[in-house]
């Protein structure tokens, strides 16, 4: 009997070394479980409302944009220095915009079908993002002015955001309720610049979404405004005063399947800008709010 106990104990040690230490009591691993050739769809719905005041005149604009992207897992590295790293293919299936954004329908149609190759490290952070230059050529051809206009409208950071906001938000290891972790990102404001954002996620425990129990994370953030780097434009922002009033959200994660379910975010800010034009300087004020919902869905068969 004692010999059998020794053998059983040895087997348990080997298994533990193979699978790693399990989460401690009260902890959970919010970890992506990706396998080669796995495919899913990311649906992003973003609503932006802006009130811009120029020369005493207010202009209100509202845009609702729905973007669908298909993700295919090309490779999951097991073992070695790159253990846990992942290579993905992202195909931009469609962009549909209503309201003010509908003016870019022609550009959105040209963008459809663009493919990006993405490498993630074991922390699900982007280490390589390829395909943006090909997208610029696909939409704008080889004309320098057209390329500059498109690059100001749709930056590489904008395209990377789909991956960043889907994968890199998870913690590095097991967490318990009230544990927090940070993840940086950027939020583009079009020709007015961008926000450098330091997001803080906290684990809130099990919560229901549409009747199903998932792991929930809460999001708060601090943001710092950065002036735009505009290519080939005659307008330039000389001075800006931007205040971020809200940047918060929630995340639902399916720990059993090992994938994101849904994220919701809200951002609100106000800004005052001094803009240099060929005719002289002018002042622009901005009221800006942005709400977004991102869902990970199974592909339609």
The domain ranges of the chain are 28-297
Residue 80 in tokens: 């070695």
Alpha-carbon gap, residue 64 to 67, rounded angstroms: 10
Separation of first and last alpha carbons in the chain: 55
> What's the pLDDT score for residue 174?
96
> What's the pLDDT score for residue 18?
42
Residue-by-residue pLDDT tens, the chain, 301 positions: 455 444 444 444 443 444 445 566 679 999 999 999 999 999 999 999 999 999 889 999 999 999 999 999 999 999 988 899 999 999 999 999 999 999 999 999 999 999 999 999 999 999 999 999 999 999 999 999 999 989 988 999 999 999 999 999 999 999 999 999 999 998 888 788 899 999 999 999 999 999 999 999 999 999 999 988 766 566 788 899 999 999 999 999 999 999 999 999 999 999 999 988 888 888 999 999 999 999 999 998 6
Alpha-carbon gap, residue 78 to 85, rounded angstroms: 8
Q: What residues have CB less than 8 Å from 3, skipping those under 6 apart?
A: none
> What's the pLDDT score for residue 25?
64
> What's the pLDDT score for residue 189?
86
* pTM score of the predicted model: 0.87
- Listed residue (61, 63, 65) closest to 45, CA to CA: 65
Domain 28-297 -> CATH class: mainly beta
> What's the pLDDT score for residue 238?
86
> Exposure of 280 by Cβ count < 10 A (0-12 exposed, 13-18 middle, 19+ buried)?
exposed
- Listed residue (78, 253, 274, 243) closest to 171, CA to CA: 253
Q: CB atoms < 10 A from the CB of 250, how many? A: 17
């Amino acid at each position: 009997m004692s010999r059998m106990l020794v053998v059983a104990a040895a087997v348990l040690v080997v298994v533990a070394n193979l699978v790693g230490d399990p989460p401690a009591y009260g902890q959970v691993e919010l970890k992506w479980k990706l396998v080669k050739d796995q495919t899913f769809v990311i649906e992003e719905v973003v609503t932006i409302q802006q009130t811009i005041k120029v020369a005493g005149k207010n202009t209100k604009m509202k845009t609702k944009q729905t973007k669908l992207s298909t993700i295919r897992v090309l490779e999951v590295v097991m073992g070695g220095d790159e253990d846990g790293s992942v290579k993905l293919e992202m195909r931009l299936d469609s962009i549909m915009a209503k309201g003010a954004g509908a003016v870019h329908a022609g550009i959105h149609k040209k963008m459809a079908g663009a493919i990006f190759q993405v490498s993630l490290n074991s922390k699900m952070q982007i280490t390589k993002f390829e395909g943006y230059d090909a997208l610029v050529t696909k939409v704008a051809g080889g004309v320098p002015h057209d390329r500059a206009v498109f690059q100001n409208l749709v930056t590489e950071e904008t395209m990377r955001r789909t991956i960043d906001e889907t994968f890199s938000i998870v913690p590095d290891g097991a967490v318990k309720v009230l544990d927090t972790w940070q993840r940086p990102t950027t939020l583009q404001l079009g020709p007015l610049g961008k926000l450098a954002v330091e997001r803080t996620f906290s684990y809130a425990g099990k919560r229901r979404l549409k009747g199903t129990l998932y792991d929930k994370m809460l999001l708060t953030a601090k943001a710092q405004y950065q002036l735009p780097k505009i290519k080939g434009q005659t307008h330039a922002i000389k001075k800006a005063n931007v205040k971020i009033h809200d940047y918060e959200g929630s995340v639902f994660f399916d720990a059993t399947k090992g994938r994101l379910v849904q994220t919701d975010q809200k951002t609100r800010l106000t800004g005052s800008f001094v803009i240099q034009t060929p005719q002289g300087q002018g002042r622009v004020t901005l009221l800006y709010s942005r709400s977004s919902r991102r869902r990970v869905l199974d592909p339609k068969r």
